[in-house]
Amino acid sequence: MRWNFSKTSMKIFKSNLYDFGMRNIFFLSLLLFFLGCDGEVFKKIEDKSKIGAKIDTIEIAASDSFSYKASESFLKEQGFLVDKSDYKLRVEHRDYAKTCNNPLSKTSSDYNYDGLVAITLFYKNEKVYTSFRDFRGDVNKELFIDLIDAMVEDLKIKK
């Protein structure tokens, strides 16, 4: 038995395959656009000598009570004592809509994100680790948890 494909049937096959792929790409793009996603996490180990350090106690300095409570509860769950310490974790979030008051910036900026969460770990006032990310929607505890969890992992902190 010999297969007989005409040029027309091959064009139809290729066209349908192309349409199927383009359709999927289009719907995937729409899905990602409407679901949205938080920004990429940026992190940097500032003092590599602190990798593997034993940290039992961390002091928290927060820009607001929500940031403090979110960080404190997670650190306590992880077995850290939150009290005065040589290690100080600065946590903050910024709401772009509330904090931006420059009219030029408001008209020329691309408001893809609603705010920023950031953490910085210090040891005796020397920067050890920095991490931050933009977010969409309302600030929530999970944004801080992700950053702090990554810090503990990146620095291989021992408790």
> 151: closest CA among 73, 47, 69?
47
pTM, two decimals, is 0.70
- pLDDT, tens digit (0-9, with 9 covering 90-100), for 45-68: 999 999 999 999 999 999 999 999
- How would DSSP label each residue in 18-37? HHHHHHHHHHHHHHHHHH--
Asked whether residue 25 falls in the same domain as residue 71, the answer is: no
Selected residue with higher pLDDT from 142 and 102: 142
Q: Is residue 159, in this structure, part of any structural domain at all?
A: no
Q: Is residue 120, in this structure, part of any structural domain at all?
A: yes
> 124: closest CA among 42, 30, 53, 64?
53
Asked whether residue 87 falls in the same domain as residue 139, the answer is: yes
- Express as a percent the part of the chain with pLDDT over 70: 66
Residue range of the domain that includes 12: 1-35
Q: Quick check: 15 pLDDT over 70?
A: no
Asked whether residue 64 falls in the same domain as residue 139, the answer is: yes
Q: Is residue 4, in this structure, part of any structural domain at all?
A: yes
Asked whether residue 26 falls in the same domain as residue 63, the answer is: no
- Whole-number average pLDDT of the chain: 79
Asked whether residue 17 falls in the same domain as residue 89, the answer is: no
Asked whether residue 61 falls in the same domain as residue 85, the answer is: yes
> 120: closest CA among 41, 60, 48?
60
The total number of structural domains in the chain stands at 2
Q: Summarize the confidence of residues 131-150 as an average pLDDT.
A: 92
Which pLDDT band, with edges at 50, 70 and 90, does 136 fall under? confident
Residue burial 138-153, b: 16+ Cβ < 10 Å; e: rest: ebeeebbbbbbebbbe
